[in-house]
Each structure stands twice: as structure tokens, then as C-alpha cells.
A and B are shown apart, each in its own frame.
Chain A
Amino acid sequence: MTLETLALIPLLPLVAAAITSGVQCGRRSAGIAIAAMLGSCVLALMACSESWGMAADTHKTFDIEWLTVGGTAINFGFVLDPLTGAMAAMVTFVGLLIFIFSFGYMKDDKRMARFFCYLSLFAAGMLGLVLANSLLLLFMCWEIVGVASYLLISFWNHKPEAAAAGKKAFIVTRIGDMGFLIGILLAFKSTGTLMLYDGGAGLLETGMAGTVLGFKTAAVVSLLLFCGAAGKSGQLPLHVWLPDAMEGPTPVSALIHAATMVAAGVFLVARAMPMFVDGGTLPVVAWVGALTALVAAFIALGQYDIKRILAYSTVSQLGLMMVGLGVGGVAIGMFHLLTHAFFKALLFIGAGSIIHGCHEEQDIRKMGGVWKSMRITSIAYLCGTAALVAFPFTSGFFSKDEILAGAWAAHRPIFWIAAFASLLTAIYMTRQCLYVFTGAHRGEHEPHESPKVMTVPLVILAVAALGLGAVARETIFAKLPGSAFPHETIVIVVSIAVALGGILIGWLVYGGRELGEAPDPLAVAPLREKLWFDELYAATVGRLWNLMAIIWEQLNELLLFVRDMAVALARALSSAVAIGGDRRFIDTFAFDGLCEKLRDSSWAVTRPQNGFLPSYLRLIAFGAVALGLLLFWMI
């Protein structure tokens, strides 16, 4: 891999975004975007295979000197190591399948061209973030991802909920980003560089000395970075935006909320792992993750919207990834991230296919009997479910097993929380599948199977969801830094027991029950209402916001007055300059005036030549006298 080929990975989608912004035809736009994504996918796979050949703990850097200003160079660059290689390959591969799926899903949308433009922009930002070798570049791409996801979530902005959800996602993640930005500034202040790896001088190689407010700098910076990560990855208490973001088109949910954007936070923690180790802040990460996993799994039990269940499930799984990073290091967390990306993308686009087949119905109470009419989608969906509940020997089983083993070795309470969250996962997924697939159809229209362009990606992802675990365990997992933990018997037993037990409980509760309008035994009010997190925010943050708004409004009046004065001053000045200075003085008075004088002088000189003989004679006489006097005076 050279700098150029590596740079092409994010640049291809970026160019595609630029081109498709000017394309009206949806099919052409989709073609350009998919071709670009295919190109980056091939390159990313090449990069990934190269990174596997690298020695452990080496990082190949590719830097460009962007600007040299008086001796200080501002560098931008990319880094290639197993972490970025695996992540880039996953993002491009899953992204490519989702792009293809979207081509079928958005076929009837009038703004399909614009949709692919946003998708490409999103992919470009995400890939830049993954490959970045500078915290600054990473943050810039991070913000591109934020903007693109805002555009995508509120894509159907004629729906007020979609517009509101886009805004909410943007604002809530910005709260975390603020911490991230402060962390970047602090890191720059204490080390003088923002490069991650720089031949021994990078941010992650030197370690940060000194203290801030009595705490170790590394601890403060890593916690600030974790703020950003928690915002993007929907960790407690910043998880509220993620389920609302399901208002976007389903491929967006799959792309943003399964494979890529929400994984960005987890990736950031993995990337900055040396800093977390240095600062000793990993237990914080693990605890936040564990609580998130538990709370979100509970809430998922009480939801009726097929996509919302998956959304809370995503939040819960992201929590587990954080647990993995917190207790065991990069390898364990990233392993689960990779397997999750495949099976959750599968579940989301499977849900999309079901929604499409059920005529845009998202409420599981109005589904049922989907198994009979959508056979391919159903099988694929069940494969994804198996992986999510960690059914033995699916990909999810292998990665979750590692997390539990790590937690057992590191911290027992976390182990039990994670195990309980896994039990809940199995229960809510069983509940959802029984609602959707069994019984008779409860909606108005009969469901129908989706076209090939949508089912083929499903099948590919289903194969990956089932088989990837064992493969990845031997390849990617072994290459990533971080130690593997011994698998005690009790860990394996608990792991299998919660998966099978959860399915059994779900079956016992919902099997044979009348589903639909009848009350649901587990969907009790607190869970249905998402533990009142939104209300909590409205009562605290919202109130504070209103109060501040009133104060600010008064201040604003003052500022408006000052602004009006400033504008009036600027207007007066510009009039003085343009009319008084230029038009009146320089042009009319100075330049035209001078030209006028020049013309006048010529008139004065030509006037004596008036053709009258007497006046000529007069002048001759005058001249003769003057000459005579001159001669006389000189002699």
C-alpha cells in the first residue's frame, strides 16, 4: 500500500459524493456511488490483508506535509495497522452491501440521487476517521460523519418526527463532541502534537506527562475522548438519540446504527487505547458499558416498533463492546464490533425487507405470519437473531464469549451484569421473532417477498453472521493487540445457558399466546416508556434550557442594539469611502479635475494661435522686445 492507494479509500466515496451532488437521475447516482464503494472495498481488503502480514504492534504511517508555516509543519496522514485494516475492510464491505440494498429499497423515492450523495459522504467521513493518523483529521472526519448522519436521519424531512430525530441526534452527539474537542486541545497543549503515530513521537507513543487539576493528564484526556465516544456510540446517558434515529430510511439505520457510525465511538476508544491504559480509566469505560448494556436490554423488552427493538439492542451491544475494551483491551472489543456489524446490519436490512414486504408497517403487533410469505428474508433474519443471542457456534457466540471470559478474569460484578444483559437479549429477540414470524398475518395487506437486489445482500450477510466468528477468531482477533483470557468452564456454561435459557423463557412466555392487541406480559409501562429518559431530559436539561433562553433573550436584545449600531457605523463608513472618498474626491476632484486642468492649459496655450494677423504681429513685437531686453541684460 502506498499513500495514494490508501488515500483513495476515503477519497473515492468523497469524489462520488461530489459528483452525485450534481446528478439528478437516481439510477445513475446510485451506480456512481456503488462503483466508488466497490473500488474502496477492494482497496480496503488489500490494505487489510497487508496489515495482517505486519509484525505485531507496528504501525505504518503515511503522512503528508499539508502546510509548512515558518518551520512548523502541519501534517495530515493515514495509518495502517491491523486495527484500521480490519475496520476499513468491515466498513467498506458492509457499506457496499447496504448501498446495493438501498438501490432496491429507495427505488421509488424521488430524491434517490440525493440519498446516494449523502450515503457516499457518510462513507467518506467514516473511512477517513478509520484511517486518520492525526487526532485533528480524525475529528474533522468525525464531524463529517455527524453532519452526514444528520442529513440521512432527517432524509424524509416531510415527516416531523424525522426532522426532529435528525436534530436530536446532531445535538446529543455534539454534547459528547464538546468533550472530545476539549480533549484534543488538552492533548495538543500537553504534547505539542496531534499525530497518533509519528515514529516514536506520536500522541499514543510518548504518553502524556503532567497533571491537570490534580488528575493525570492522560486520565483527563482519555475521559474527555470517552465523552465523544459515548455520544457517538450511544452510551448511557447519551443514548437517547439512537432509537429516535430510526426515523431515517432503513438502509440508513443499518449503515449508521449497526455497522459504522455508532461503532465510531468504540473504534475511538480502541484507537486511543494506550492513552486509556496510561490514564487508568478503563474501569470507567467498562462500567459505563455494562450499565448501558443492561438498561438498554431492559428497554428493548418493552418496545413494539421492530426497528426500535433493534435500536435498543444496538445500544446494549455497544455497551458490551465497551465492556470488552474496558476489561480486555482492543482485541476483544473490536472482535465483537466486527461480528456485530455483520449480524446487526443483517437484522436491520432484514427488518427493512420485512417492513417493505408488509407495506411500510413497523409495529410488530400488526405483523405475524411473515414466515409463510417471505421465506428468504425470514431465514436470513433468524440467522442474524441466532448470532445476536449468541447461539453456540454463530459469530456472536465467539465474540461474546471473549467478553465474558475477560470480564470473569477482570471484575466479577461486570461479568454477572453482562451475562444478565445477554439473557435479556435472548428473551427480547425470541419475543420479536414470535411476534413477526408465527401465527396469522394481522395487518391489512398480505406481505410479499422483496426483490433480488434486496435479498442477495441479506443472504451474503447471513452467511457472514453465521460463519465469520470462527474465521475471525483465528485471523483478526489473533492479530489485534490485547490478551486473550482463559475460558473457564463456568464462563462457557453461563454463556451457553443464558443464550438457550433466554430463548426458552421467551418461548414459555410468548409461545402459543394470543399476540397482537392483547396485553403483553413483559412490556410493562416503565419499559414501554423507555425508563422515562426523555422525560428526565425534558424536566432537567429542557428546563435549564428554557431558563437560559429567557436570560439569553434579554442579553440578545442588548446585543441586537449593539449590532444595529455597528451596522449603521459600517454603512456610514462604507458610504463615506465609496461616495465621499472614491467618487467625489479621487475620481471627480482629483482625477477628473486634473484632466480638466490639463485640457484648460491646452486651451490657454492654443488660444494665441487664433488666425488674426494683428494679434500675431502684436506677439511678434512683444517677443522682439523681450529678446532684445534679454540680450541687453546678458551682455
Chain B
Amino acid sequence: MIALLTVIFSFVGALVCGLMPARWHRAIRWVALSTAGLGFAAAFCCALRYTGPGMEDIISRTWIPSMGVGFITGFDGISLPLLLVTGLVAVAGVLFTWNLDHRADQFYAFYFALIGGVYGVFLSMDLFLLFVFYEIAIVPKYFLIAIWGGAKREYAAMKLVMYSFGGSALVLIGMLALFFASGLNTFDLRALMEVDFSSGLQAVVFPVMFVGFAILAGMWPFHTWAPQGHSAAPTAASMLLAGVVMKLGAYGCLRVAVGLMPEGAMVWAPWVAVFAVINIIYGALAALRQEDFKYVIGYSSVSHMGFVLLGIGTLHLTGMTGAVLQMFSHGVIGALLFAMVGTVIYTRTKTRMLDELHRLMERMPGIAWVFIVVALASMGLPGFSGFVYELYVILGAWAALPTWIVIGAGLGVFATFGYTLAKIHEAFFRERSTGDDASDNNNGESDADYPPMTLPEKAGVALLLGASLVIGLCPWLLTNHIAGSLQLLLNRFN
């Protein structure tokens, strides 16, 4: 029951925030913080109580018996890191949006509706229920971006929703195909996992379903919604998008597509790996060219999600463990990068264009150092979670995939170093290249120091960076559970 509390807390919080008058925004943010905190606490309790490797905390109720739909929830070592990361990002998102006063009631109503949906997806053990939560998670994104977003927000919101629903449509087709082919009249994932679907069916349905989910994971060439959507979104929403929503897709790929159709997965795995490597390199190269700081982070998310797909494509315990670990790692680090750019730096400089930033290293040394540490952590600095997942994914790929794919992934790692260092240089160490006249006119003011980080910002940074550090130093806290549950899933292969 504890696991389900995450969903309940979030929806109740959404309701409470939505019913409070907008002018109480100071009270609303405390309600929001406690809602997010309660959700994280529930997820954390799950982590403490989990013994593994099987499914635990199962709640099973019939819901629509005529269609074989049940309300079945539970979690295992694969969902556990994702529950945790959702909780962490939810709390940090509130902290980094601390000063929001524009329609805060509605903002947090949508925010927690989205989070409740995400928790629901990670907990669903029924395919139909999973789909329902998946759809619940899509709708609030539209409003969050279209109402509180930045430039080109309507376009970006519409694009994101169209891509998401496009993916959902593919998923729905695959879902129904499996439902009818099984002949069991049930959507129960545990029952469906026992069914041996025919090889032909698997080979046809697997790509449909995988691509449907992978669209939300930012798979090339269906990735362009991601940088644009992330950039137009308000900070908290882009943190959720990068941190957890993209993981929904990857989770679906792993749990549903690979979990239900092992033979299809084996047929298509090399292609998954190829597309994953394209994702890694393409995202990194595109990031190198961006001039908007948020786009850089958006494309880096696309690139990092490539590592998740690559890990899944290995169909190898080590590689898949790395994939799940990366979902956690990128969840905290990606969200933190968006928070740094979208709130911490933007509220001070009032610009996100890299060539308008001017000598930030001297004017905001503390923030610059924090950003550099976060960027290095995302690059895979030993001691942070980024290093561990990269090791797992590359070693898994080495064991299971042709060498040239590993070389491609290695090039991707190299490209990651390239754009990270290049963009750090451009943002913090470079003098402004344009607009010299402006700085001449009001010199003195343009060189003034920026204020240091506020308390909520510091707390958010400590929370997310600390989580990455803990997992980087003690990876066994998660990897033991992840590998145990993945082993159960992989037992159906061969």
C-alpha cells in the first residue's frame, strides 16, 4: 500500500493546490513542497522495505471485469529507482520554482497531476492501467508549457502533445494485438509475461510498441519535440520532462516491449542499438551547435537517453542494469542541469543565449562552479552516478554487441566531452562577443556581480547532486535490486 501512496498523495496534492485561491501563492508553495516531500518519503520507504528481487507490495482489484482490466499495482527493482528519481525531481522542482506567483494554484495542480500519472505508470502491473496513467501524464504537460512557458510555447506544447499521442497510438495498437493474441482476456502484465506469443507476431508487434514508447524517450528521428519542449517549458516542467517523463518511454520499452516479447526483442535488438548510437552521437553533435543554453541541455538529454536505449539494446544483464541506472542518473543530473540553466542562471542574467553571457566565472563564481561540477557529473566524472552507468552500458555493449557499435558509443562519449567542455567555456569563461556598445554605455553595471544562490536553490542542488554522489560512491544500493529484477526478466530469454 505504501507504494500506492505516492500516487494518492500526488493527486490529493493536485486537488488541494487547485482549490486554493491563487493569491495564497505563499501557502500554496508550502503545500506543494510537502506534497512532493510526502511522495518522496513514500518512495523512500518502498526502497527501505524492498527485499527483492520479485514484485512486492502488490495490490490487486478488479476494475472492468468484462474487459479483463484490473487495478494492479506493485513495484520491483526496475521501478524502484524510477520511483525514487520521480520523488527527488518533484521536490527539487518545487524548490527551484519557489518564487512562482503567476497562477500558482493551477500550476501545481497540473504539476502534481503529471507527477501522479508518472508514479502510476511506474507502479502499474496492468497494461491497461499503465496506459491510462501514461495518458494522464501527457495532458498536464500541454498546459504547463502553453500557459507558463517561454518563447514559442504554443507551438512547442502542441508539438510535444502530438508526438506523445502519436506514440500512444502505436502503443495502443500493440497493446490490443497482444491482448487478443493471448486469448486470456486479461491485461495483467504478470499473466501476459507467461504467454509465449508466436515469433511472427512478436517480430511484427515489437517494433510498433517499442517505437511508440521510444518516441517519448526521445529516439531519433522522433526526438525534436524534446529540445523544443524542454526549452519552452517553465523550469519545474522541463525538470520533470527531462528527469522523469522521458524515462516513462524508456521504462515502457523495457517493461512492456522487451518484457512481453523476448523473441521480438532478440530480432530487433541490433537495430535498437544502432538507433541508440545514432541518438548518442546525433544529440551530442546537435548540442555542440546550439546557441540557446536550454537547447544545449535539451539535446544533451537526447544524447543521454541514447545510452538508455543502448543498454536496453544489449539484452545483457550488465548493459540493462546500466540502462536502468542511467534512467536514475540522468533523471537527477538532467533535471539539475535544467534547473541551473532555467532558474539559477536565467533569473540572474535574464538571457539564455550563450553569446550574451559575459564573464560569468568572475561575476557568479559559486554558481559557475556548481554548474561545472554538475556538467562534469553528467559527463561521467568518477564519483558520480554518471560514471557508473557509463561503465555498465559500455561493458554490456562490449559483451553483447558487435565491436563497431561499441566504437560508435565510444565516439559518442568523446563527443559528450566535447560539447560539455565547449559549452562550459562559452558560458562561463568567454567575454561577450556581441553587444559591446551596450556594455560601453552602461559600463560598471554590466560587470556587476550577480547575487549568490538562494536557500531553496542551494537545497535543490544539494538534494539532486547528493543523490548522484551517493549512487556514484555506493552504486550497489541500486544495482543489486536492479540486477536482481532484470535477471527475472532475462530468464525468459534463451
Contact = CB atoms under 8 A, between A and B. Distances in A.
Asked if A and B are interacting partners, one says: yes
Nearest to A76: B473
A587 interface: yes
B286 A578 contact: yes
B490 to A, nearest CB: 13
A552 B293 CA distance: 38
A593 interface: no
Contacts of B221: 586, 590
B388 interface: yes
B282 interface: yes
B476 A574 contact: no
Interface stretch (A66-74, A418-426, A454-462): A66-74
A570 B395 contact: no
Contacts of B395: 69-70
Interface in B151-169: 159, 162
Contacts of B318: 69-70
Residue of B224, B317, B391, B483 with highest tally of chain A CB at under 10 A: B224
Size class of B's contact patch?
A: 20 to 34
Interface string A270-283: 00000000000000
Interface string B313-333: 000011000000000000000
A599 B121 CA distance: 33
B388 A67 contact: yes
A574 B288 contact: yes
Contacts of A577: 282, 285-286, 289
Contacts of A579: 289
A28 B288 CA distance: 43
A492 B228 CA distance: 84
Interface string A555-580: 00000000000000011011101110
B391 A586 contact: no
Contacts of B476: 64-68
B132 interface: no
Contacts of B286: 574, 577-578, 581-582
Interface string A52-69: 000000000000111111
Contact of B288 (A65, A570, A595): A570
Interface in B270-285: 282, 285
A579 B282 CA distance: 12
A136 to B, nearest CB: 12
Interface string B446-479: 0000000000000000000000000000011001
A586 B159 CA distance: 12
A578 B289 contact: yes
B479 A68 contact: yes
A573 B285 CA distance: 7
A586 B302 CA distance: 15
Contact of A582 (B159, B162, B224, B288): B224
Contacts of A582: 224, 286
Contacts of A65: 476
B53 interface: no
A276 to B, nearest CB: 31
Nearest to B387: A67
Interface residues of A, number: 22
B391 A67 contact: yes
Contact of A586 (B224, B288, B388): B224
A575 B288 CA distance: 8
A586 B396 CA distance: 32
B399 interface: yes
A394 to B, nearest CB: 45
Given A66-B475, A587-B224, A578 B392 contact: no
A573 B283 CA distance: 12
B285 A67 contact: no
A616 interface: no
Given A574-B286, A578-B289, A70 B317 contact: yes
B285 A570 contact: yes
A17 B221 CA distance: 46
Nearest to A69: B395
A537 interface: no
A113 to B, nearest CB: 14
A394 B16 CA distance: 77
B289 A69 contact: no
Contacts of A590: 221
Residue of A579, A582, A587 with highest tally of chain B CB at under 10 A: A582
Contacts of B288: 570-571, 574, 578
Interface string A64-102: 111111100000000000000000000000000000000
The binding surface of chain A is classed by DSSP as helix
A591 interface: yes
Contacts of A587: 224, 228
Contacts of B224: 582, 586-587, 591
Contacts of B182: none
Interface string A181-218: 00000000000000000000000000000000000000
Residue of A65, A577, A579, A587 with highest tally of chain B CB at under 10 A: A577
Contact of A69 (B285, B287, B391, B418): B391
Interface string A100-136: 0000000000000000000000000000000000000
Contacts of A64: 476
A70 B290 CA distance: 38
Contacts of B399: 70
A574 B476 CA distance: 37
Contacts of A574: 285-289
A582 to B, nearest CB: 6
Contacts of A573: 285
B264 to A, nearest CB: 25
Contacts of B396: 70
Residue of B286, B287, B395, B483 with highest tally of chain A CB at under 10 A: B286
A65 B474 CA distance: 9
B449 to A, nearest CB: 15
B294 to A, nearest CB: 14
Contacts of A591: 159, 224
A86 B177 CA distance: 70
A26 B364 CA distance: 22
A395 B221 CA distance: 75
Contacts of B287: 574
Contacts of B388: 67
A545 to B, nearest CB: 29
A69 B392 contact: yes
Nearest to A595: B162
B398 to A, nearest CB: 9
A581 B289 CA distance: 12
Contacts of B392: 69
Interface in B389-428: 391-392, 395-396, 399, 415, 418
Interface in A134-179: none
A583 to B, nearest CB: 9
B329 to A, nearest CB: 14
Residue of A571, A578, A581, A595 with highest tally of chain B CB at under 10 A: A578
A570 B412 CA distance: 12
B282 A581 contact: yes
Interface in B289-324: 289-290, 299, 317-318
Contacts of B415: 570
A67 B477 CA distance: 10
Contacts of B290: 578
A65 B388 CA distance: 13
B48 to A, nearest CB: 18
Given A70-B395, A586-B221, 4 more contacts: A70-B396, A570-B288, A578-B285, A591-B224
13 contacts: A66-B476, A67-B391, A67-B476, A68-B479, A68-B483, A570-B415, A570-B418, A574-B286, A578-B289, A582-B286, A586-B221, A587-B224, A591-B159
Closest 10 CB pairs of A and B: A578-B289, A574-B288, A574-B285, A574-B289, A578-B286, A577-B285, A70-B318, A577-B286, A586-B224, A587-B224
Interface of B: 159, 162, 221, 224, 228, 282, 285-290, 299, 317-318, 388, 391-392, 395-396, 399, 415, 418, 475-476, 479, 483
